[in-house]
């Protein structure tokens, strides 16, 4: 059992870690935003709106980069955070995960090449009608380049497991900066417009490679020993990966498809209002999620050392709830006016839309703060099952309600998050608390 003094010191340490991650996100956000806007501005000014539209569609695979480790990052974070410094099990886990994901890289490269030879990537993405020279080739090269990020992306997971989440958050400025630089050079030198498609892939590759090299050095492991070092058993790593992949996809799918439901069942104005509101909701949520990832290794180490306390998790979750209420309040207060300014009055999301977004922010923050404490293999599968049921319920709800108003996606998703994720996670933690209390009572003299 942890006494009051230790608990207070531990709480201060956790708050300090969360504060560092939040500050890193606060510092890097203006840089990433400026880089993204600058990149768009250059393409629009040099090549016009049609090429910008092609660029936006052809770089769609970049949106999938967060799923590229096939969920195996979960097992890597757990293994790194629950073992001691210089433990060879850390290196063995990284080696196994890298080898497995290298197979995925080869498969994607093969797919990119075969599609290029036998078909057309441009037609597949619906931009073949623009007739841009070499577009098929550059899309294939971009996809092949992104595939290299599949195993290299494990470096970020290793660093999170080592408790270096603030540095990982700060590194988020690398890829957008390189993308901006590459776009600027290509446009300044008069390169064919299709070459712009490779800029984001180059940024992602350089960023992933830098973090992977840093991770290897942190583990005192030289990458050239990758294929001579004995790895760890595959079964547990794959099992955790599948569970986390299901959890991630199920959690994000309804939100990603919300625009599609609105477009099919509502007006163009509703789609525009929802999309513009998202431009304020998503950055706000990114601060909470980027900060909360720092909790994963902290809870994993506590669980491994037998010092995990659900009550402590509740305290942290309460802090996240308060933060989300404050952030949501600012969203409701400032959102409508800022949206009107950004769109020059063309799109005017109602205050009720931002109120619904604030409700989703609160439910997501509470669920995230609880869920990040349930990352053991069994708990990941527990969350994956409930999240899958929640995704089905959310999609069914969007089918029925998306014709009413632009705010319905926020409300439907928020309700399903509470019912199918937050409450089940709270129930599981309560079961742990009760078992822990009974155990302490049985051993007390």
Q: What pLDDT, on a 0 to 100 scale, did the predictor assign at position 214?
A: 94
Q: Are 359 and 411 in contact (CB under 8 A)?
A: yes
Residue 205 CB: number of other CB atoms within 10 A?
Answer: 19
Q: Residue 369's pLDDT is what?
A: 93
> Based on the domain organization, do 214 and 245 belong to the same domain?
no
Parent domain of 217: 1-232
Residues 152 and 295 in one domain: no
- Last-in-domain residue among 183, 205, 232: 232
What pLDDT shows up at residue 384? 96
- Please enumerate in sequence order all residues whose Cβ is within 8 A of that of 400, keeping only pairs 6 or more positions apart, or say none: none
Ranges under pLDDT 70 in the chain: 1-7, 65-66, 86, 223-225, 227-233, 342-344, 346-347, 439-445
What pLDDT, on a 0 to 100 scale, did the predictor assign at position 69?
75
Same domain, 90 and 186: yes
pLDDT at 233: 67
Are 228 and 347 contained in the same domain? no
Whether residues 219 and 238 share a domain: the answer is: no
Neighbours of 276 (CB within 10 A): 22
| pLDDT for the residue numbered 133 | 87
Residue 180: the pLDDT is 94
Map residue 350 onto helix, strand or coil: coil
Find out whether 10 and 315 touch, Cβ atoms under 8 Å: no
pLDDT of residue 232: 65
3-state secondary structure 360-389: HHHHHHHHHHHHCCCCCHHHHHHHHHHHHH
pTM for the full predicted model? 0.83
Q: Model confidence over 40-88: pLDDT tens digits?
A: 888 888 888 788 878 877 887 777 766 777 788 888 998 898 887 767 8
Q: Phi/psi zone of residue 306: left (φ > 0), alpha (ψ -120 to 50 degrees), beta?
A: left
CB 194, CB 217: distance < 8 Å: no
> How many structural domains compose the chain?
2
């Amino acid at each position: 059992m942890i006494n009051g003094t230790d608990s207070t010191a531990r709480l201060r340490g956790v708050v300090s870690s969360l504060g560092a991650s939040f500050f890193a996100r606060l510092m890097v956000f203006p840089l990433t935003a400026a880089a993204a806007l600058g990149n768009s501005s250059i393409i629009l000014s040099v090549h016009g709106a049609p090429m910008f539209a092609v660029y936006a569609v052809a770089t769609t695979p970049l949106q999938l980069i967060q799923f590229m480790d096939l969920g195996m990052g979960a097992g890597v974070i757990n293994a790194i955070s629950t073992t001691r410094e210089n433990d060879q099990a850390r290196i063995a886990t990284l080696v196994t995960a890298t080898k497995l994901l290298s197979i995925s890289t080869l498969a994607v490269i093969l797919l990119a090449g075969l599609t290029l030879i036998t078909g057309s990537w441009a037609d597949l993405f619906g931009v073949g009608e623009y007739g841009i020279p070499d577009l098929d080739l550059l899309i294939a090269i971009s996809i092949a380049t992104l595939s290299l990020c599949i195993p290299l992306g494990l470096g970020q997971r290793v660093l999170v497991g080592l408790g270096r989440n603030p540095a990982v958050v700060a590194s988020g400025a690398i890829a957008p900066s390189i993308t901006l630089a590459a776009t600027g050079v290509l446009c300044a030198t008069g390169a064919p417009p299709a070459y712009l498609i490779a800029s984001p892939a180059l940024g992602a590759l350089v960023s992933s490679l830098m973090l992977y090299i840093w991770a290897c050095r942190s583990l005192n492991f030289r990458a050239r020993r990758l294929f001579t070092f004995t790895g760890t058993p595959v079964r547990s790593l794959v099992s955790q990966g599948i569970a986390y992949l299901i959890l991630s996809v199920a959690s994000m799918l309804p939100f990603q498809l919300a625009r599609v439901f609105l477009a099919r069942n509502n007006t163009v104005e509703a789609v525009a209002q929802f999309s513009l509101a998202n431009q304020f909701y998503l950055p706000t949520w990114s601060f909470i999620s980027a900060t909360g990832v720092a909790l994963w290794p902290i809870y994993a180490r506590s669980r491994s050392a037998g010092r995990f306390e659900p009550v402590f998790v509740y305290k942290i979750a309460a802090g996240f709830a308060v933060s989300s209420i404050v952030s949501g309040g600012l969203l409701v207060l400032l959102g409508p006016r800022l949206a009107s300014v950004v769109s020059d009055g063309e799109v005017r999301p109602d205050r009720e839309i931002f109120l619904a977004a604030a409700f989703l922010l609160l439910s997501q923050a509470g669920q995230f703060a609880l869920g990040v404490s349930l990352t053991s293999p069994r708990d990941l599968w527990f969350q994956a099952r409930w999240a899958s049921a929640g995704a089905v319920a959310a999609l069914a709800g969007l089918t029925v309600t998306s014709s009413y108003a632009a705010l319905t996606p926020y409300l439907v998703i928020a309700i399903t998050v509470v019912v199918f994720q937050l409450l089940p996670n709270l129930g599981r933690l309560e079961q742990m608390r009760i078992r822990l209390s009974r155990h302490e009572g049985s051993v007390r003299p």
